[in-house]
Amino acid sequence: MQNWWALFVTIELFREVGVEVANKLGYDYLSQLDARVMVYLNKVNGLGTISKSG
């Protein structure tokens, strides 16, 4: 669970910095891509732990 928390905090930090840097350099931050990645990661996070059988 701590790994997921760390991942989401890192993404949030990257987003904040990425938006600012993109604006200063005259680029668009790909917020739609960011949102799609977050939806995907939240789905994967919701899958839970895969146990090994055998």
Q: What is the pLDDT along the chain (54 residues), one digit of tens a residue?
A: 799 999 999 999 999 999 999 999 999 999 999 999 999 999 999 987 665 554
pLDDT confidence of residue 1: 79
The residues spanned by each domain of the chain are: 2-44
- pLDDT reported for residue 54: 46
The pTM of the full predicted model, rounded to 2 decimals, is 0.77
To 10 degrees, what angle do helices 31-46 and 2-25 make?
180
Residue 19's nearest CA partner among 34, 4, 8, 5 is 34
**CA–CA separation, 45 vs 27, rounded Å?**
31
